[in-house]
Amino acid sequence: MYTNNQFHTSQVTIATESKRVVNKASLAIFSTGIGLCVACLIPSHWTSKLTLITASCGLFYVSHRLDRLKASLAPYEVTANIQSQQGYAQWLSTSFAPPKREIAIAQPSEAPAPVKFADVKQALSKPHCMLLGSTGDGKSTLAKHLAANCTAYTIVIDPHAAPDDWGNLPVFGAGRKYEQIAQIMQVTLQLLQVRFDARDQGVKQFEPIIIICDEYPAIIASLAAGKVASSWMKLISREARKVAIRLVVLTQSPEVKAIGLEGEGSVRDNFCFVRLGEFALDHAKSLKDDAIKSAIEQADRPAMLGNLPCAIPTLSDRVAMPVLSMPSDYQELLSSSGNQALDTSIQGSTSELATQPQSQALAPVFESILQFLQGKDWQRDNYIKQSIRAFKDANTPISEIQGYLQFLEVKGYLETRGAGRDGLEARLRPS
């Protein structure tokens, strides 16, 4: 149905077209009626004339009705014209209007992922480690913290050491005795050869030993130990990992000249770097990662383990060191060296070890394994990892746990069965 004030587009078309058709039909019918009236003037029978007159009257009536219909469509045509004009005016207004600015809708930004912090103790799981920092950044304190948490027999090479700096650990070269440092380096090179000879005979498991070398640039600069230290660094860093000898070096510069490795820069690739202070800030900037850079800049004690920031706990300069038994092959070399100075350096730690019960001559990590196995039958290595919180939190590799079990077996604490790939099982050795 039509409305009085608003037409649909189809209604506008029907109204306009209907008026046009009605107008043409009315003219055609009226013309036909006139034609019939004219035909009455032609001589014919009266009945024919009556028929023509009647037909013409009917046509005139139809034409009249069509004219009334056309008149009734006039208001609708006016409304259609007005609506058409309004639509055309609106189109013109829209066409000439200035373009609207598109409003950018801010997309919800994804929250940045939290920065992953590494545990600095993970440096102990690396083949070799280099602590890099300026004077006062805490390299020696961090090295003592690592030594207190390691699970291997540890010796220290430090020409600037005070008597109580390293607890009960054997210290070589204190008092700038660079000749003694050269001698202990020669002994460790002999140990390297002895272990590779044993490896050639099929031995694959060795008692681990860690060498902490402090003030390394001063050692390299000395006449008595400089040349030995350079070759010692190259051989130990490249080959010692396979025979369970690991190196922790403290230095104030990573430059190859400062550590006696000119032309041998690839040797540094064998080390995991722990950067402290400004070295950590500079390395974070070089990574071009804003999240890591921000985390390092906000840290109280900036530190990075490799390419990850790490948190340095509040440490004391006096740390209790674990008392571990000396590897038998290393002890034999020291005894056969006939050097009184080396014997004096290890006398304190060896005599203290001899006065300790066997259960106390172990690092906390070994004690936790023995405590867990107490009263239990055979336990698999992966179950030991999941059951001891320290291993689970640090995600300790299974191979490292197997090394702990094999070490305790050598010491007479455990029995093991199985192989590395198929998994290792262990239980306490019956009394």
What DSSP string runs through 297-344? HH-SS-EEETTEEEEPPP--SS-PPP--PPPHHHHHHHHHH--HHHHH
- The fold of 118-350 is Rossmann fold (3.40.50)
Task: Look at residue 172 in the predicted model and tell me its pLDDT.
Answer: 92
DSSP 429: P
Q: CB count, 10 Å around CB of 39?
A: 15
Task: Look at residue 158 in the predicted model and tell me its pLDDT.
Answer: 92
> Mind listing the pLDDT tens digit for each residue in 100-132?
665 555 555 555 557 777 777 777 777 788 888
Residue ranges of domains in the chain: 9-86, 118-350, 362-431
Does the CA dihedral 346-349-351-354 come out positive or negative?
A: negative
> Mind listing the pLDDT tens digit for each residue in 392-411?
877 777 877 887 887 787 77
- pTM of the model as a whole: 0.56
Cβ proximity of 372 and 172 under 8 Å? no
> Mind listing the pLDDT tens digit for each residue in 309-322?
887 777 666 666 66
Task: Look at residue 111 in the predicted model and tell me its pLDDT.
Answer: 52
Q: How many CA atoms lie within 13 A of 5 on its CB side?
A: 0
Task: Look at residue 343 in the predicted model and tell me its pLDDT.
Answer: 55
Cα separation, 412 vs 26, in Å, equals: 126
The ranges of the chain with pLDDT < 50 are: 1-3, 347-361
Task: Look at residue 157 in the predicted model and tell me its pLDDT.
Answer: 92
Q: CB count, 10 Å around CB of 380?
A: 14
Report the mean per-residue pLDDT for the chain.
78
What are the φ/ψ torsions at residue 33 (nearest 5 degrees)?
Answer: -60, -40
- The fold of 362-431 is Arc Repressor Mutant, subunit A (1.10.10)
Q: How many CA atoms lie within 13 A of 395 on its CB side?
A: 3
Q: Token pair of 281, please?
A: 């800030």
Task: Look at residue 348 in the predicted model and tell me its pLDDT.
Answer: 46
Establish whether domains 118-350 and 362-431 are of one fold.
no
